[in-house]
Structure 1
């Protein structure tokens, strides 16, 4: 069947999965924006309270990281997240498509839904909270390279994206770990926000970075986020596909044998 014929058929069958992806990314972006305003905007009572106690930007990243990790965990383990697989990221969808876990039609619809959720949520925050969301300390949630430059930011984004997907794939295909895969991913996101964000702003998601950049009309270093996460996640999927038979044959303790539940059931490979 041609892709042109697959797209409407997939939409009729799996539109609830696509809505889940749109809503999930929207919730993530809105929470990230609200947390950033609360912690970084100088008019925020929370910011003033923490600043009054001598809490600097580095320490304020701790509640931000924990909060975003909890948001990811909540979305992943919610009934909606369990329905779609909670990709929330076109780069992650690309990796699962490469592994044959999702059809090309579903992958395209996932990407479009994620775009709707990402751009829609940034527009909502910009419309309702422009005074706060546009402040330089928040800057529409943009992700920009740190003071050490774009090349280091690219390397950092590549590494954190690669590690995230490798951990997720190993956990999802482990008889012992597949139920906690979402928790592991959420923990990594929290760690990344706390420790890695000074290098690259901690994106992992090209669409989220693009939506914020468009809202701010600030495309500084955007190429980093459009290239590094998709390339790293694609590589992680390729490495996993190559080494998975070896891990299974060796009877590794991670027991890479269990198939995770996947997205539109009729497309699971």
Structure 2
């Protein structure tokens, strides 16, 4: 009962942060779905203009999704919640004791709900175009090299992503550019890693697409590899890093901007003075 009461209290106090996480991932999946359909569906004029140029199509998608990530991270809503939009990122901040357990759980719930809602919305709007095998609801699937390679690839890119994020946020000169560094990684991953695992990095994103497609093949790869890599990267970071402390669980850095709708309100971090 105490756990339920704590969860309800957190929801009442921090619901706007959870909503921001849901909206953030919903926006990400909606953009990914629209871009992928435009680039990969055979009936699309853009696809026809780029037939036989798979690398260029992935490059265009990479640029688009990199800009989407930057928009989420640096938007007022993103700065409000921290712009995690990924259970693996939330896990990292939780391991660093910059997010209370109850808030971390609600963040993950919000991310899943927002992602699934967006994927189902795209199913309704894009219909048969979204269901076409060349798009397949933007699901993430292992490439021709197989499941084992996909798992290793997902683990590697997730490990690097979290390591870069943690190093950047702990450096005064880099923390405000952390979102752009992540955007750059997203571009490179989509361009070069996609053929191996479909480039997920995000359990909630892969789950949302799987629900829309009703296709759960190999979903375990994307549910397990990113969190495992995040855990290891954070453990190693805590073991070897000594220096500037992290102030809060915000990917864009912790200084609020005048444009923030909640300038005087803290994100739901805040190492609680009392024990969990």
Return the match for 2:249 from 235, 240, 262.
Answer: 262
Relative to total residues, which structure has the larger helix share, 1 or 2? 1
Structure 2 equivalent of residue 40 of structure 1: 40
Q: Is the 8 A contact 1:178 1:260 kept in 2?
A: no
* Inter-partner Cα distance in structure 2 for 1:242 and 1:213: 36
* Inter-partner Cα distance in structure 2 for 1:35 and 1:260: 35
Runs ≥4 in structure 1, deviation > 6 angstroms? none
Correspondences of 1:47-196 after superposition (within 5 Å): 47-51=47-51, 55-196=52-193
Deviations 1:32-69 (A, max 9, x none): 00000010001111111222xxx422221000001000
Structure 1 equivalent of residue 200 of structure 2: 203
1:18 matched to 2:18? The reply is yes
TM-score by length of 1: 0.92
* Inter-partner Cα distance in structure 1 for 2:50 and 2:268: 50
* Inter-partner Cα distance in structure 2 for 1:226 and 1:140: 18
Q: Give SS of 1:39's match.
A: helix
- Which runs of 5 or more residues in structure 2 are unaligned? 251-265, 272-276
Structure 1 equivalent of residue 241 of structure 2: 244
Q: Is the 8 A contact 1:196 1:202 kept in 2?
A: yes
* Inter-partner Cα distance in structure 2 for 1:99 and 1:13: 22
Q: Is the 8 A contact 1:175 1:258 kept in 2?
A: no
* Inter-partner Cα distance in structure 2 for 1:189 and 1:3: 37
Deviations 1:172-197 (A, max 9, x none): 11111000001001110111000000
Q: How many residues align?
A: 256
Q: Is the 8 A contact 1:122 1:212 kept in 2?
A: yes
* Inter-partner Cα distance in structure 1 for 2:162 and 2:91: 11
Report the Cα offset of residue 268 of structure 1: 2.2
1:29 matched to 2:29? The reply is yes
TM-score by length of 2: 0.89
Q: Is the 8 A contact 2:99 2:269 kept in 1?
A: yes
Report the Cα offset of residue 260 of structure 1: 4.1
Report the Cα offset of residue 214 of structure 1: 2.0
Report the Cα offset of residue 100 of structure 1: 0.5
CA RMSD between the two structures: 1.4
1:6 matched to 2:6? The reply is yes
